[in-house]
Amino acid sequence: MVKELNFLDLFAGAGGLSEGFIQAGFKPVAHVESDKAACFTLLTRMAYHWLKSCLNLDLYIDYLTGKIDRCSFYEKIPNNIKESIINQEISDISLNDIFSNIDYLLGDTTLDLIIGGPPCQAYSLVGRSCDTNKMLGDKRNYLYIFYAEFLKRYKPKYFVFENVTGLLSAKDKEGKYYLNEMQKLFKSCGYETEYRVLNASDYGALQARKRIILVGRKGNKTGFYPELERHCAKVFVNEIFKDLPTIKAGEGSVNMCQMQNYLGTWLYESGIKNDEIPVTWHIARPINSLDAKIYKIAANLWENQQQRLEYNSLPDSLSIICIMLIIFVIQRKCIYICIRQYFKI
């Protein structure tokens, strides 16, 4: 019998990276995340996977449709699932406590894989350009040091470290590249590392999103980075929204929405659409008058010249607003396209 491979997710966020590994057949031991709201999402998603394995998705559907509240829903979930969501900030103070929780969850088993990516704001080009100190000295720059502590303690066979492409150029106060320092540290922990810049659009996602994916392997072997088969979707991004009811800015509801008739096949083929699971949280972000001006300029530029809007072509009074919108998206990670593709709702 083939052993089921397990993993630990650090800086887990809402669980997008973890979701991919779960769908690939890996079993999560624990998720460590400091944001309370993200931990609720993680727990709900882990509850979904447990219920699916038990062939009991009716309870999940009852929760989505409002027949039971969140507390009643969580009461039906085993304690080991709830305990696997560790809502703590990783720091010198909390590290031993987090280790103890993970040790308890692991029991007599060993850890096969660690995944995760520390918060990206400190490395991102946008984050650095908007900070008066260029993010120098920001503690988030050094969270990879804690990542190494987990490698030293659990000694997994592999680890996967994800972050924004701004990491390639980010430097510390002494002018040293963070990426180089990371690789040196991981080397000292007994891991060779290799990385590539991968674009989600090359692998079926309807969004151009480049990320550094660094893979570490225990030992001295090199040349282990997997050769990934590319798969570009043959539909446009609006395919994601074709079964959703039309709403205006600021409209929508957290409750179940009535889906529109969908005549295509891609949403089913990709596994995103599931007619048995209700869709909730169909909400459009509200906009103000400045937002509307920016969107109008972008729309007119595309309709008249087939050109995309660049920040430096905006009037000064509007460019700062556009940058702030980008920061909002990065920090909250709430692009609806990604939510639907990650969580397949």
pLDDT at 344: 44
pLDDT 10s digits, 104-160: 999 999 999 999 988 756 655 444 444 455 445 556 568 899 999 999 999 999 999
Percent of the chain with pLDDT over 90: 64
pLDDT at 326: 58
pLDDT at 138: 55
Q: Which residues are catalytic?
A: 120
The sign one gets for the Cα dihedral 181, 186, 192, 193 is negative
Each domain of the chain, given as residue ranges in start order, spans: 6-218, 233-286, 287-345
pLDDT at 298: 85
To the question of domain 6-218 being in CATH 3.40.50.150, the answer is yes
Instruction: Please tell me which residue, 288 or 25, carries the higher pLDDT value.
Output: 25
Instruction: Please tell me which residue, 129 or 74, carries the higher pLDDT value.
Output: 74
pLDDT at 197: 96
Distance CA 233, CA 210 (A): 16
Using the predicted structure, report yes or no on whether residue 319 has a pLDDT greater than 80: no
**Average pLDDT for 296-310:** 86
Listed range (33-47, 113-127, 258-272) with the worst mean pLDDT: 113-127
Rounded to whole angstroms, the maximal C-alpha distance in the chain is 64
pLDDT at 140: 58
Listed range (26-35, 114-123, 269-278) with the worst mean pLDDT: 114-123
Strands (E), 219-323: 252-253, 282-283
**Tokens in use for 90?**
């990783």
CA distance to 75, 85, 194, 227, 331, per residue, from 217 (Å): 39, 26, 9, 15, 30
What angle, rounded to 10 degrees, do the helices at 178-188 and 144-154 form? 20
Residue 160's φ and ψ, nearest 5 degrees, are -125, 120
**Tokens in use for 32?**
């460590």
- For the chain, the average pLDDT equals 86
pLDDT at 29: 97
Distance CA 139, CA 136 (A): 9
pLDDT 10s digits, 193-244: 999 999 999 999 888 899 999 999 999 999 999 999 998 888 988 999 999 9
pLDDT at 302: 87
